[in-house]
Amino acid sequence: MTKDTVDFFKTQPNLEKSRRIYTVSEISQDIKLILENAFGQVWVEGEISNFRAHTSGHFYFTLKDNLGILPAAMFNWANRDVKFKIENGLKVICFGKISIYGPHGQYQIIVEKIEPQGIGSLQLALEQLKKKLQKEGLFCAEHKRPIPYLPSKIGIVTSLSGAAIKDILKVLDRRFSDIHIIISPCQVQGETAKEEIAQAIKDLNLLNESFAFNQKIEVMIVGRGGGSIENLWAFNEEMVARAMYNSRIPIISAVGHERDWSIADLVADLRAATPSVAAELIIPKKQDLEERLDDLTQRLNKALRDHALDFQETTDDLIYRLNLAMQYRLELSTSHYSAASKKLILLNPVALIVQYKRRLTELTRHIYARITGFVKLQESEFKGIVEKLSSLSPLNILSRGYSITFKVPENEIIKDAELIKIGDSIKSRLCKGEVLSQVKEINKNN
């Protein structure tokens, strides 16, 4: 028997005692350890398909390319900070570890981080939210409300510790220090910022409901100073956008610098490049207002003077024309009288002298009565015209004891007692001179 010949009749080892029998779960566990040790943590790129968000908060999906698929799971502790919307067809890069799901014996990647391929996650989230809100009409120009001119009360939503509030208050104080300001403070970055900003906007609207009509907040500034897209992200949150859209107070968005654009800027009634610019848009310079008021006062005085001159010229013309008419009537009557006298002299019958004298006397009386009646009628019509013209003159109104009352220092004409309160200073312009008074009592019933 050669060396390589096998003796089939020789007693063989007991194979039953030497073999190792594995359970299914043991095989799965060993393969899991092998895969995890072989790959460790990896980055994998692919296209998302079969995406499913479980009620537990976990995400399940498949990564695929042209040649294969890889099941993936992303648990809620890992996906809670994902800013963009994960959806089928989105190309992504995932970071995690290769493992096996024991019950199915299926290998998969446990995703710890996910990024959109070719674009930043924040930028993608921003574009997705823009598209959603634009479709719902939150950016429509029809929803934008005008910003009131020179509001008396302003609301501000920002951080008390940031540079934005200092810039806003500095500009408002420099331009018009009499403005009433209400600040609703909040965090403007960090995990709680979006909830605090949205709540601060709602709080100012709720506060406004308790104010009287002439004491309400007329405009609101919402914003913060500059920073990175991460620092400004709270103003790109859907919660903040909807709070601004639902606000009954007009809102000026002032987020970051001029180059920074946020969802808040698109929803707001007006966008300001910076917080300082927002304050400038609301309040004009007090000096500019005073100059405009002086100009309007001068124009009003000139108009009053011109109207008075026109009235005087009209009156002089009417008097001149009346005198001419009276003179013409008198000359005409005198001419008739002279003609009759000459005719009487020419006829000179003794018998008719007395008769003609009587007729002449009667005629003279009628002529005088008609002239007198005509003159009185003309005088009456003239007086009516003069009185009508006088009633239209603002100066004549003042001369009858009336006055024009202005609110000090605004020089705003007071037409309604609702516009003033006890303790206010008022100025009354009379026909000659002005009187400065202080309100002691207001009767609003009339």
Q: For residue range 330-348, what is the model confidence (pLDDT) as tens digits? A: 888 888 788 777 776 666 6
Residue 360 pLDDT class (50, 70, 90 cuts): confident
13 preceded by a cis bond (ω within 30 of 0): no
**CA-CA distance, 173 to 283, in Å (whole number)?**
10
Last residue of a domain, one of 215, 249, 284: 284
Q: 47, 91 in Cβ contact below 8 A? A: yes
Fill in the amino acid letter for 17: K
Find tokens 């654009």 and name the residue: 261
60 located within any domain: yes
443 located within any domain: no
Residue 8 has a pLDDT of 46
Question: What tens digit of pLDDT does each residue of 128-153 get?
Answer: 888 889 899 998 999 999 999 888 89
Average pLDDT for 420-445: 84
- Listed in sequence order, the residues at least 6 apart from 403 whose beta carbon sits closer than 8 Å to its beta carbon are 428, 429, 430, 435
62 located within any domain: yes
H or E element at residue 91:
strand 91-101
With a cut of 80, say whether residue 186 has pLDDT above it.
yes
Q: Are residues 76 and 43 in the same domain?
A: yes
Residue 6 pLDDT class (50, 70, 90 cuts): very low
Q: Are residues 39 and 169 in the same domain?
A: no
Residue 1 has a pLDDT of 46
The segment with the largest mean pLDDT, out of 12-26, 237-251, 316-330, is 237-251
Q: Are residues 195 and 277 in the same domain?
A: yes
Q: Are residues 253 and 380 in the same domain?
A: no
5 located within any domain: no
Q: Are residues 108 and 150 in the same domain?
A: no
Task: Indicate whether this model's pTM tops 0.85.
Answer: no
79 located within any domain: yes
Average pLDDT for 12-23: 63
Tell me the C-alpha to C-alpha distance, in Å, between residue 197 and each of 88, 138, 250, 446: 32, 18, 16, 45
Average pLDDT for 176-205: 92
Average pLDDT for 32-49: 78
The CATH number linked to 241 is 3.40.50.261
Q: Are residues 255 and 344 in the same domain?
A: no
Q: 422, 441 in Cβ contact below 8 A? A: yes
Spatial strand order of the sheet with 153-158 comes to 180-185, 153-158, 219-224, 251-255, 270-271
Q: Are residues 153 and 254 in the same domain?
A: yes
The segment with the largest mean pLDDT, out of 72-81, 97-106, 183-192, is 183-192
With a cut of 90, say whether residue 99 has pLDDT above it.
no
Distance of CA 374 to the CA centre of its chain: 67
Residue 349 pLDDT class (50, 70, 90 cuts): low
The CATH number linked to 42 is 2.40.50.140
The segment with the largest mean pLDDT, out of 160-164, 288-292, 395-399, is 160-164
Average pLDDT for 300-307: 77
Q: Are residues 101 and 147 in the same domain?
A: no
421 located within any domain: yes
Three-state secondary-structure class, residue 111:
strand
Q: 332, 422 in Cβ contact below 8 A? A: no
2 located within any domain: no
| Region of poorest pLDDT, from 52-56, 290-294, 301-305 | 290-294
Residue 394 has a pLDDT of 67
Residue 203 pLDDT class (50, 70, 90 cuts): very high
Residue 36 has a pLDDT of 67
Last residue of a domain, one of 239, 264, 284: 284
Specify the number of domains making up the chain. 4
Q: Are residues 159 and 279 in the same domain?
A: yes
Q: 262, 232 in Cβ contact below 8 A? A: yes
Q: Are residues 395 and 408 in the same domain?
A: no
Q: Bigger pLDDT: 58 or 128?
A: 58
Q: Are residues 172 and 293 in the same domain?
A: no
Q: Are residues 347 and 416 in the same domain?
A: no
Domain assignment of residue 29, given as a range: 20-118
Beta strands at 270-271 and 153-158: parallel, antiparallel or unpaired? unpaired
With a cut of 60, say whether residue 88 has pLDDT above it.
yes
375 located within any domain: yes
Average pLDDT for 158-168: 91
Last residue of a domain, one of 83, 118, 153: 118
